[in-house]
Chains A and B, each alone.
Chain A
């Protein structure tokens, strides 16, 4: 059957195909947008943490009643934690993954003047305690850990992720290169000494659209500043629970008396925290998934109902075609092709509607831009759904016996 036959049939009875077309257009536009919104919720959850998350305890909400902890207090705390049975490594830090009390937001500028906003994890010996594998370069050396302001006039060594290296330097090897501070482009900036594969930022609202890995490690002595202090503690897998209790006790012993009134230190495993942190995202995700599913069901029902009727109306014509020698497979193919034609046009309109609708809404509201890559995905899904919906009616049509042509219904 040629395209012309299809088109002329559709033009003669245009109400049904028009309604299917309209449905497909709307459904495609909605689906593209909903899938994109869903993905934005999902992206930080699916992004690799880059950290060896099992057997990692994080300590936060150590609010000092004096407003800040001294370096001596911080070191004493680390020492006490190291003595807890089952503890393998301890790091003090001013910011940590999956800890949201402090978001260290920095800017970095590569040689091509591209600027990237990054989250920084700053502390002592974080590579080892967090269990982040190096891809290239080296870990920080002991003399590189300095207090705030310790790198006046000299570039601060940093360890960045592969994704960040690619953004800043393109295909050039980032190792050993200088990164500038966009606030002070002429200054000494930072020097890349190591590269890690992944490191999830702790500002999840920015961990979308390929920005999940925009994070950096910085060497920093902890304490003697008003910034909050955290601990990361790596424990023996066989002694998880014992170590957790031990760490809680040690923290209480070391800091309990000097916390602000009403404050309580939080000591828990990384995995516990991530499941709490993603809780509201999961709720949103379920909502969007429900919406997408409903859209799909409504569309499929609509297409099935309409095509079912339309096939039934043409029972006699099908019988005539069968009597004239058309095979069952010809009939089946005819209806599948007809559906593909209608849905194809609908999908093209739907993609345009999704794209321009998003662009139009973006003018009024602060919304993320719908990347065009989502459009073919939505389109493919709609085409597939269309074929599935028409399969039942088309099979029924193919089962029409040739003898129908001779009967007057």
Chain B
């Protein structure tokens, strides 16, 4: 019975090849548009560090000795006052020294020329991450060669560095660069370990230098203490003390500018609430703030909330999904219409089959199968179209589209979507044709 319906369905499709092609193409277009935008959104909103991110929190206390700035000029010109919840050096050191969390680390992006120890190779203006010994275990960065640096080396301000294999290859011509050294400014940093290139998408721990990076993130990691000793300065900052007289061209002074991010690992809800009250307590002890109309403020924000608070997933990506979804709906209405026309053209033949005893459900099944087939074939054609769509998206130079790649999960979702829409779209025309009155049709023939 099913087999017979299936054969009839295939036969029906082959009878009007031109209109079949049209219907299949329409379905494919709708599916591809929807899939392309969904894939991009899926990539952008994925968990940046699965298994770890739910235990990571950004710790922030407001200790900047300045009145809150309200720049109307900026607001009028559409600039948002971005605060990446960074803090000043002394506070970061105090939070680290307290060791109230399972793990705690400081992250500061810096920009520097990386020169191989022999002076032969240079990578100019690269992002490096000044951090602490906890970063590599906390973020689960995998070491290829050597070791990460120790708490003792942090404390002793030892000039050591961990680089990734790409940089090792570029500077030393070999991935195993342990024991070599890299010159930053005028200080030689000894390479103690080599890691696989590491970057999370989005780069939630240093959003200030761009949430999504198509070409990777930092390629060198070093103790922030040693970095500051070498005269390297933070790349960006939130507010600075009112007494600070720096400008865009002078190096940022981390002692007076909130330029260090503090990330902590807290495994249980008890730890989280304990840390939260510790932070608030710390903020309340900052008596110097009273002169600047500031209440003691602290925040402990999880990764997901942090990404949401910063609108990391661009709204345009979400809007595109809505647009593509409506386009799919349009295509499906179109397919339903074309199929209805095609099915009802056969009213006479359906009438005869009914008169000869074919039950309604058999006719219904045949036509649902036919429309399901159309959408399935459409799904097959949608795959190359989706690839094309993603390729077009990657040509868009907006900082995040470059990440659009189809993964197996989305590939499967495409076919599920195709089947579901096929069945759904077929229901109306199939129901309509199954209702054909046998007597009337034969009479009019």
A283 touching B396 in the complex, CB below 8 Å, given contacts A117-B78, A183-B72: yes
B76: contacting residue among A15, A64, A115, A284, CB under 8 A: A115
Binds A, one of B209-217, B265-273, B317-325: B317-325
Determine if A172 is an interface residue (Cβ-Cβ < 8 Å). no
Chain A residue contacts of B318, Cβ below 8 A = 364-365
Q: Is B323 in contact with A33, judged by CB distance below 8 angstroms?
A: yes
The A-contacting residues of B in range 384-400, CB under 8 angstroms, are: 392-393, 395-398
Chain A residue contacts of B311, Cβ below 8 A = 366
Chain A residue contacts of B315, Cβ below 8 A = 365-367
The B interface is mostly helix, strand or loop, or mixed, namely helix
Determine if A20 is an interface residue (Cβ-Cβ < 8 Å). yes
A277-296 interface bits toward B, Cβ cutoff 8 Å, 1 = contact, 0 = none: 00110011001001100110
Q: Is A291 in contact with B323, judged by CB distance below 8 angstroms?
A: yes
Chain A residue contacts of B75, Cβ below 8 A = 117
The B-contacting residues of A in range 168-183, CB under 8 angstroms, are: 182-183
Determine if A85 is an interface residue (Cβ-Cβ < 8 Å). no
Determine if B77 is an interface residue (Cβ-Cβ < 8 Å). yes
Shortest C-beta distance, A334 to chain B (Å), equals 20
Chain B residue contacts of A153, Cβ below 8 A = none
Determine if B151 is an interface residue (Cβ-Cβ < 8 Å). no
Q: Is B250 in contact with A67, judged by CB distance below 8 angstroms?
A: yes
A187-201 interface bits toward B, Cβ cutoff 8 Å, 1 = contact, 0 = none: 000000000000000
A361 touching B338 in the complex, CB below 8 Å, given contacts A302-B333, A305-B22: no
* A103 to B77 alpha-carbon distance, docked (Å): 10
Q: Is A67 in contact with B249, judged by CB distance below 8 angstroms?
A: yes
Determine if A206 is an interface residue (Cβ-Cβ < 8 Å). yes
The interface size of chain A toward B, counting residues with CB under 8 Å, comes to: 63
Binds A, one of B193-201, B291-299, B339-347, B363-371: B339-347
Chain A residue contacts of B124, Cβ below 8 A = 261-262
Chain A residue contacts of B330, Cβ below 8 A = 23, 26-27, 30, 295, 298-299
Chain A residue contacts of B393, Cβ below 8 A = 287
Shortest C-beta distance, A297 to chain B (Å), equals 9
Q: Is A280 in contact with B397, judged by CB distance below 8 angstroms?
A: yes
A24-41 interface bits toward B, Cβ cutoff 8 Å, 1 = contact, 0 = none: 001101100110000000
Shortest C-beta distance, B299 to chain A (Å), equals 22
* A114 to B245 alpha-carbon distance, docked (Å): 33
Shortest C-beta distance, A184 to chain B (Å), equals 10
Determine if A19 is an interface residue (Cβ-Cβ < 8 Å). yes
Chain A residue contacts of B398, Cβ below 8 A = 280, 284
Can you spell out 9 A-B residue pairs with CB atoms less than 8 angstroms apart? Answer: A16-B341, A30-B323, A105-B79, A183-B72, A227-B247, A279-B397, A283-B397, A302-B333, A302-B338
Q: Which 10 A-B pairs have the closest CB atoms?
A: A117-B76, A226-B247, A309-B341, A117-B77, A302-B334, A365-B315, A105-B77, A280-B397, A67-B249, A19-B337
List residues of chain A with CB under 8 Å of any chain B CB. 15-16, 19-20, 22-23, 26-27, 29-30, 33-34, 63-64, 67-68, 103, 105-107, 115-119, 182-183, 203, 205-206, 225-228, 261-262, 279-280, 283-284, 287, 290-291, 294-295, 298-299, 301-302, 305-306, 308-310, 312-313, 357, 361, 364-367, 409
